[in-house]
A and B are shown apart, each in its own frame.
Chain A
Amino acid sequence: MSLALGTVPDPDTEADQAVDKEADMAKSIDVSDVNIYYGDFLAVEGVNMTIKARSVTAFIGPSGCGKSTFLRSLNRMHEVIPGARVEGKIVVDGQDLYEPGVDPVTVRRQIGMVFQRPNPFPTMSIYENVLAGMRLNAKKMSKSDADGIVERSLRGANLWNEVKDRLDKPGAGLSGGQQQRLCIARAIAVQPDVLLMDEPCSALDPISTSAIEDLIHELKTEFTIVIVTHNMQQAARVSDETGFFNLKATGEPGHLVEFNPTSKMFANPDDPATEAYISGRFG
């Protein structure tokens, strides 16, 4: 696969490339009747949506409404928490992720994730952090392949120019924004179909946030991106479609109130609750 990451794509050829890539990258996700539990507690109820391939889908909503929980259920990270489980169907590329016999480890190799707080591995250098997905799985590769993956991923994460002279330095020595882009480089190095981002900018300053948002725009040409954000301006800036989650009442499960193209969502939402939340008249 020849992905000219880092070089500015020519707008005319971009669409052609996208068609080529469609076969092996960037899957859409069909979610039907998903209920998510922590033990006996129903956290998210009855979610139905279709997340389009090669687009950015944002989830907004108040704290505790289950948007991060739902995001984590998309690559089976939810069940890492003891007692947590998911009911319903999440179909990626014709395959239900929660069918018996599906290995969560395989799912996570195809659906990468970037977390709220930058979490580079402290024992590894920048170079090793990018390759962590391969190295930790003991994948054999030549030095030149490894160098290529590192450069391509770091360029893809807009970090190459800042770190190319210190690839052997610890990843923890970078600034918060650089660390987060390193984590994105690490996630895209394993060539996932889908990239989940759980409030990737909430721990960053506005400049770093802007860098990450630019990056999201570039990445969506190749990946299906799902992002959770507390920042409605950010959702409006980066996403093509938006899902609004809300709680029916305190102690009730969260649910998907509205799922629409972002332009419609912010201009003319279907649901009065969405409008109240977006315009700041929440409640």
Chain B
Amino acid sequence: MTTTPPTQDLDHSAADLLPPDPTQPQGQLPRTAPLIVGVAAVAAGALVGLILGSGLAVMVVLAWAVYAVAYPTWSAAVENRRKATDRLVTVLVWTAFGLAMIPLVSLILTVVIKGSRAISWHFLTSDQTGRALIEGTGGIFHALVGSMMVTVIAAVIAIPIGVLTAVWLVEYGKGSRLASVITFLVDVMTGIPSIVAGLFALAFFQIVLSDPLPRLAIGGGVALSLLMIPTVIRSVEEMLKLVPDDLREASYALGVPKWRTIVKVVLPTAVAGIVTGVTLSIARVAGETAPLLLIVGTAYTTNWNPFDGALATLPTFIYSALARTGNPQYGAAWSDQVWGAALVLIVIVMTLNVVARVIGAVFAPKAGR
């Protein structure tokens, strides 16, 4: 224990009330300090870069290094060590944030810029029938239909199984040996590589249909549902666990049977989280490629029949169109198509994410007055 007052561990208002610690400088950097140092650092980086004749990247790194050293040093000189450390860590945290944002921003910008060239009404509403082999000026309608069909089939299979399994795990099987076995298997399932799910669907329909190379949308739905089920189970399970036991007991104490308690109290209380989790799991499988290549193949025409025939989905369309971008005559046109389809896929997934958040906010229990 020291006998000096612990000035530097208190916040400003409290520190102001205490006598100043003579061992610590008591200055304060101006509020515009980050800006001043920033301008100086950019100038220094640019100057050194020009003198050395180096490129923009080197200048940026130099400017960052100058900033990361100068800003805390200035603070240490004027203020005290604690504030200098605080400012140094602030710089590092912002740096890490910026680095993490670079790939995201770069990806979105690239896709939007390159993809928006391809987007047109024609692109969204026509398929590749007839044009595919000669010029590559078709659209992605067949892939939109295929993606929608496969995803809906997967959701129809996975959501009831996932939600009911989670309800059983939380409400009925809690603590039993079977429940822990199922939880373990669900965890294992979460880690299944998507290609294996595709292989399973392929093998399954080879046996069921006695067809050496089955191509059907249902198969794609089965493969994707295998990937969806564990995520649905885990997210719904977590949401159901968040429902306080108090509410279940309140319902039981009113003479409400257990199944009604689950249907009318537990599920409505957790519905916001459940819908969000389910929507995010749909968004996750909407971008799957590998299992779909195995079981639904690729196609150029729109296939509305989920029980028979190959069809294209957005990811598999991107994959197959990419192979044609090397064509000396039509490569550029195919390249546009690839970026356009990628943009549409990103927009769909982002929309699903936004929808999930909106639904979560709408259904959340309100505590307003």
Contacts and interface: CB of A to CB of B under 8 A. Distances in A.
- Whether both chains belong to one complex is answered with yes
Instruction: With a 10 A CB-CB cut-off, give which of A108, A115, A117 has the most chain B CB atoms.
Output: A108
Contact of A122 (B248, B252, B269, B369): B269
B247 A121 contact: yes
A181 to B, nearest CB: 14
A133 B175 contact: no
Nearest to B255: A109
Contacts of A132: 250-251, 254
A258 B261 CA distance: 38
Contacts of B256: 105, 133, 136-137
Interface string A31-70: 0000000000000000000000000000000000000000
B255 A133 contact: yes
Interface stretch (A11-19, A182-190, A234-242): A182-190
B175 A119 contact: no
B329 to A, nearest CB: 62
A283 to B, nearest CB: 33
A169 B255 contact: no
A43 B368 CA distance: 41
A248 interface: no
A166 interface: yes
Nearest to A132: B254
A82 interface: yes
Contacts of B360: none
Given A136-B261, A137-B260, A183 B366 contact: no
A97 B175 CA distance: 27
Nearest to A114: B253
A75 B253 CA distance: 8
B16 interface: no
Instruction: Give the interface size bracket for A toward B.
Output: 20 to 34
B17 to A, nearest CB: 33
A190 B369 contact: no
Nearest to B254: A133
A106 interface: yes
A77 interface: yes
A115 B257 CA distance: 18
A102 interface: no
A187 B252 CA distance: 11
Contact of A105 (B248, B255, B268, B366): B255
Interface in A122-139: 122-123, 132-133, 135-138
B252 A108 contact: yes
A108 B255 contact: yes
A190 B256 CA distance: 11
A169 B368 CA distance: 7
Contacts of A166: 369
B27 interface: no
Nearest to A80: B252
Interface string A160-185: 00000010011011000000000100
Given A172-B366, A187-B254, 6 more contacts: A109-B254, A113-B253, A136-B254, A137-B256, A138-B260, A170-B368
15 contacts: A80-B249, A82-B174, A105-B256, A105-B257, A115-B253, A117-B246, A119-B247, A121-B251, A122-B247, A132-B251, A133-B254, A136-B265, A137-B254, A138-B260, A183-B250
